[in-house]
Structure 1
C-alpha cells in the first residue's frame, strides 16, 4: 500500500475526529476530479438526501480509483464541498460506512471540508475529490 504513514497525533494539536492530519505516500499520485451524485446515465441520485448523495459520489469515486488498481486504503486526501456544513455528521457516517470495511481501525485519509454557496447544479448537496497514491503497477487507463 503506497500510504505509508498516517499522522494522527501531535503534541501541539488536538487528536483528529477520524481523519489524519497528514499522510506520507510512495508511488504514483492520481488526482481525481470532484464526483457528485449522478448515476451512469447522468441522472441525479438522492435529491434532497445528503446520505444518498454522499454514497453515490463515493461510489463514483471508487469506480475511478479502481481503474488504477487502487482501493480506499490508497486514498490519501479527500476534499469535500458541501452546501450545508451543519449536516456534516451524515457525511461522516456514510464515509465511515463505506471506508471502514477497507480501512479497519486505520484512520481515514487527510481531509478538508468546505462549505460552498452552491455546486454546479442546484440539486447537488455534496462533491468529493481525492488524491490517491496508486500501486506502481501499470493500468489499462
Structure 2
C-alpha cells in the first residue's frame, strides 16, 4: 500500500464528498491516459449503459496501473469526463467498488459535449504515486 497522505479538508476548506482535496506522497509518478469503455479487442462495452461503461473503464485503469506496478491504492488523482453529469452516481459506484473509500484520491469531474466516439459516455484518467523502493 502506498505511503500517501490524504487531506480531506484542509483548514478553511469545506470537506469534499467522496474525494480528498489534497493527496501527497513520495515515489515514482505514474500517469494513465484517459480510459474509455473498450475491451481488449477495441470494441465498446456497454453502448448506452453508463454503469457498464464505468465498470469497463475502471477495469482498464486497473490493467494500466498494474502494467506500471501500481494499484488503485497508489492513485492520487482521478479526472472524470462524462457526457452527462447524471452518470456520476454510477461512475462513483464503479469507483467505490475498486477504491478505498476511506482514503479517496483527489478528483475532478467535467461534463463534456462529447467524447471522441459518440457511443462513449465516460472517460477517466488517473495519476498515481508508487512508493519509493517499490517501482
Q: Which residue of 2 aligns with 1:111?
A: 107
Kindly state the Cα deviation for residue 97 of structure 1 after the two structures are TM-superposed: 1.7
Q: Which residue of 2 aligns with 1:68?
A: 68
Length, aligned pairs only: 134
Alignment gaps of 5+ in structure 2: none
Q: Which residue of 1 aligns with 2:134?
A: 137
Does residue 128 (structure 1) correspond to residue 89 (structure 2)? The answer is no
Secondary structure, aligned partner of 2:97: helix
Kindly state the Cα deviation for residue 124 of structure 1 after the two structures are TM-superposed: 0.2
Does residue 98 (structure 1) correspond to residue 94 (structure 2)? The answer is no
Once residues 85 and 25 of structure 2 are traced to their aligned partners in structure 1, the CA distance between those partners, rounded to angstroms, is: 29
Once residues 117 and 59 of structure 2 are traced to their aligned partners in structure 1, the CA distance between those partners, rounded to angstroms, is: 19
- Deviation string, structure 1 residues 24-68 (Cα, Å, up to 9, x no partner): 111010111000000000000000111100000110011011112
Contact 2:58 2:94 in 1 (8 A): no
Alignment gaps of 5+ in structure 1: none
Contact 1:77 1:131 in 2 (8 A): yes
Once residues 127 and 3 of structure 1 are traced to their aligned partners in structure 2, the CA distance between those partners, rounded to angstroms, is: 27
Secondary structure, aligned partner of 1:134: strand
- RMSD between aligned alpha carbons? 1.4
Secondary structure, aligned partner of 1:20: coil
Contact 1:75 1:130 in 2 (8 A): yes
TM-score between the two structures when normalised by the length of structure 1: 0.89
Contact 1:3 1:23 in 2 (8 A): no
4+ aligned runs moved over 3 Å, structure 1 = 135-138
Contact 1:83 1:117 in 2 (8 A): yes
Once residues 46 and 97 of structure 2 are traced to their aligned partners in structure 1, the CA distance between those partners, rounded to angstroms, is: 17
Kindly state the Cα deviation for residue 3 of structure 1 after the two structures are TM-superposed: 4.3
